Amino acid sequence: MIDQYSPDRLADRMEIQDVMLKWCRAIDRLDADGMLACFTEDAIDLHGPYNGPIPGLVDWVMNRHQTIPFSSHQVSNMLIEFASPTVALAETYVRTLQRYPAEAMAAMAQMMANGPAVKEGEGMDLMTSSRYIDRFEKRDGRWKIAHRRLAQDWKQSFAVTAATPANNPDWLTGRRDQDDAVYEERRNLGIA
């Protein structure tokens, strides 16, 4: 039986948590290299609409998200259980919020069993509640995801109409690329 809370396991827990947070930032900023860095080279993702090796997942995300102007992945409950000093299981709850403008609705329709509930020419805001079921492995001293299964628990959508509020153009608005403010600050601080 492995000590789940030894000093080494506590440090491992923090590194695993950081991988999950880096995944969320990378997918929301469409950072392909950042997404790839969260997984082992031979990792597999069983995502539902995409199942296979991670380079294919990243290509699928980058293609599908081209017309999605806003995406937010938020992780919460995270339970980590160590099978050994180099293998852990993490179950992480994730909420996603994404905006699909009218031009993205064809791609969305392919992913929903009963189709989106919006009128022709409207977009949709999609909220989901899912869980990442990840096998993490520590290789070459770093924890990464070796196998992911996405359990999709719940979805809800809202029509995006002309009356839907928009950001004030004078305010700082998030971007889906490496020109986002967080990447700019990372460069300014020499973190990148």
CATH, residue 121: 3.10.450.50
Is 129 part of any domain? yes
Read off the amino acid at residue 61: V
Is 77 part of any domain? yes
Structure tokens at 185: 């600050």
d(CA 87, CA 127): 32
End-to-end CA separation in angstroms for the chain: 39
Tell me the Cα Rg of the chain.
Answer: 18
pLDDT digits (tens), the chain, 192 positions: 899 999 999 999 999 999 999 999 999 999 999 999 999 999 999 999 999 999 999 999 999 999 999 999 999 999 999 999 999 999 999 999 999 888 877 667 666 666 666 777 888 999 999 999 999 999 999 999 999 999 999 999 888 887 888 889 999 999 999 999 999 999 999 998
Residue 138 belongs to what domain range?
A: 7-162+172-188
CA distances, 114 to each of 94, 100, 111 (Å) = 23, 16, 9
Is 132 part of any domain? yes
* Pairing mode, strands 142-160 and 39-46: parallel
